[in-house]
């Protein structure tokens, strides 16, 4: 039932001691990074005085912007020759955020993912089809090694290429799939178009859904379609990737592995802890990782603590499904997009006027992005070919900036409602 019984069911007092011990090592490690050395000196923090999770509050939280500014090496705590891999956030704006791993970091992460998969019921006799992209994104490789460690037959098929996915599902009778929720829904149409029935022709038992927000309704729908159990899997590249928090067989919240992280859930405005059960921002301190220690990292993800003990016996506290984000980052087909990226492209294109909006829709389970943009009135007097060229140009520039191809609609000035206060640039009509 457990991958590591002792650590998963460890009494809370012992867990606190383990956290304190690992935190102290992390503090010494953090002192080796340019970023934290500067931060400690600026705020007169003595890292040796940070001995337990309660002491952490004197440290200002670390943000994604800090990570970007610290690119490439300000968060690195070990000599570069100790680093064996890097991953980078799927965000596509400007400077990437980069996370480094030593061989031991990778080994621990692999174990963390194996533990997570095991909690969701993945076993050695499973055929694990990993339908997430391999590369800088952590969803592919991160899950891959965890599944292999369990001993499952791991198929590194990666994302996309639906026909091939379907063929593998049928031919190898994959029992476990790791998939982005919106893609899990979209794929069903193609399966049907192939004349197949996901329940009859496949043998899927376990579905791991992660990397983008999705509702309980989506989970139920996916379970219904495939005739399988779907488990929520949460993670972010900054603090390893998948395997940060995972649902167990009871599917009531995700166990956040507290021997790997110190968890805080705070009010995003005041940064003080929210009462148990209330929604706040997840803040994580890595305590079991050497190359890139992060102290009080603001994830931007909103969730609440699930109160009470879990019937599975694991003592690691559970977080709810992610309710949203504090910033305006969009997750569209699994790609992280900031509205500012879109604005940047539009506003640098000659002929574009000042107003625009981005509409996200879900049609037949597939997400669609429509960029409506007002263009200079004189262009409407010009020839139609010119307009078509402008539309194509915007579309292709957006594609290279945000890695998805939106539908672009050119409008006359005044067509898009303008507001006096903050503009609502993004209208998300996807029913999560």
- Judged by the rule CB under 6 A, the positions of this chain that interact with ligand DLL are 89-90, 132, 137-139, 210-213, 232-237, 241-242, 299, 301, 322, 325, 331, 336
CB of 116 or CB of 355, closer to ligand DLL: 116
Q: Which residues contact 64 (CB under 8 A, 6 or more apart)?
A: 89, 91, 97, 238, 298, 300
Residue nearest to ligand DLL (CB): 210
- 246, 120 contact by CB (below 8 A): yes
CB of 138 or CB of 175, closer to ligand DLL: 138
Residue 193, classed as helix, strand or coil, is: helix
Least distance from ligand DLL to the Cβ atom of residue 323, Å: 9
Least distance from ligand DLL to the Cβ atom of residue 64, Å: 9
> CA-CA distance, 372 to 270, in Å (whole number)?
36
Tokens of 375: 């263009």
Which residues, listed in sequence order, are joined to residue 298 by a DSSP beta bridge?
Answer: 283
Least distance from ligand DLL to the Cβ atom of residue 158, Å: 13
Q: CA distances (Å), 310 to each of 237, 250, 280, 411, in order?
A: 27, 8, 21, 54
Least distance from ligand DLL to the Cβ atom of residue 138, Å: 5
CB of 132 or CB of 408, closer to ligand DLL: 132
Least distance from ligand DLL to the Cβ atom of residue 242, Å: 4
> CA-CA distance, 151 to 19, in Å (whole number)?
29
Instruction: List alpha helices for 295-419, DSSP H.
Output: 339-347, 377-381, 384-402
CB of 45 or CB of 302, closer to ligand DLL: 302
CB of 83 or CB of 329, closer to ligand DLL: 329
Least distance from ligand DLL to the Cβ atom of residue 80, Å: 23
Report DSSP letters for 356-376, one per residue. Answer: EEEEEEEETTEEEEEEEEEE-
CB of 127 or CB of 131, closer to ligand DLL: 131
């Amino acid at each position: 039932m457990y991958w590591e019984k002792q650590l998963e069911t460890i009494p809370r007092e012992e867990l606190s001691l383990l956290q304190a011990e690992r935190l102290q090592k992390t503090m010494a490690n953090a002192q080796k990074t340019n970023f934290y050395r500067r931060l400690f000196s600026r705020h007169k923090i003595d890292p040796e005085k940070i001995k337990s999770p309660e002491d952490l509050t004197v440290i200002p939280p670390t943000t994604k912007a800090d990570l970007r500014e610290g690119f490439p090496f300000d968060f690195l705590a070990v000599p570069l020759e100790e680093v064996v891999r890097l991953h980078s956030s799927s965000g596509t704006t400007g400077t990437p955020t980069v996370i480094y791993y030593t061989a031991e970091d990778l080994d621990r992460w692999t174990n963390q993912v194996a533990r997570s998969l095991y909690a969701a019921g993945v076993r050695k006799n499973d055929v694990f089809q990993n339908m997430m992209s391999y590369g800088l994104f952590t969803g592919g490789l991160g899950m891959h090694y965890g599944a292999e460690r369990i001993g499952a037959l791991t198929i590194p098929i990666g994302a996309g290429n639906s026909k091939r996915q379907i063929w593998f599902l049928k031919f190898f009778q994959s029992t476990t799939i790791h998939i982005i929720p919106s893609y899990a829904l979209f794929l069903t149409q193609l399966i049907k178009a192939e004349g197949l029935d996901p329940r009859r022709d496949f043998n899927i038992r376990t579905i791991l859904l992660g990397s983008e927000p999705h509702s309980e309704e989506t989970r139920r729908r996916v379970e219904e379609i495939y005739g399988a159990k779907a488990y929520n899997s949460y993670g972010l590249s900054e603090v390893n990737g998948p395997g940060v928090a995972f649902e167990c067989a009871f599917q009531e919240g995700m166990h956040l592995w507290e021997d790997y992280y110190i968890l805080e859930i705070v009010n995003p405005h005041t940064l003080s802890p929210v009462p148990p059960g209330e929604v706040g921002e997840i803040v994580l301190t890595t305590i079991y990782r050497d190359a890139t220690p992060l102290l009080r990292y603001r994830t931007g993800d909103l969730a609440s603590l699930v109160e009470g003990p879990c019937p599975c016996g694991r003592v690691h506290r559970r977080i709810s499904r992610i309710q949203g984000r504090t910033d305006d980052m969009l997750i569209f087909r699994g790609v992280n997009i900031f509205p500012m990226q879109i604005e940047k492209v539009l506003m640098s294109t000659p002929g574009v006027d000042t107003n625009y909006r981005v509409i996200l829709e879900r049609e037949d389970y597939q997400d669609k992005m429509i960029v409506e943009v007002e263009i200079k009135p004189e262009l409407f007097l010009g020839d139609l070919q010119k307009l078509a060229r402008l539309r194509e140009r915007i579309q292709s520039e957006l594609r290279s900036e945000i890695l998805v191809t939106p539908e672009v609609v050119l409008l006359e000035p005044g067509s898009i409602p303008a507001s006096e206060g903050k503009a609502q640039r993004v209208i998300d009509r996807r029913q999560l």
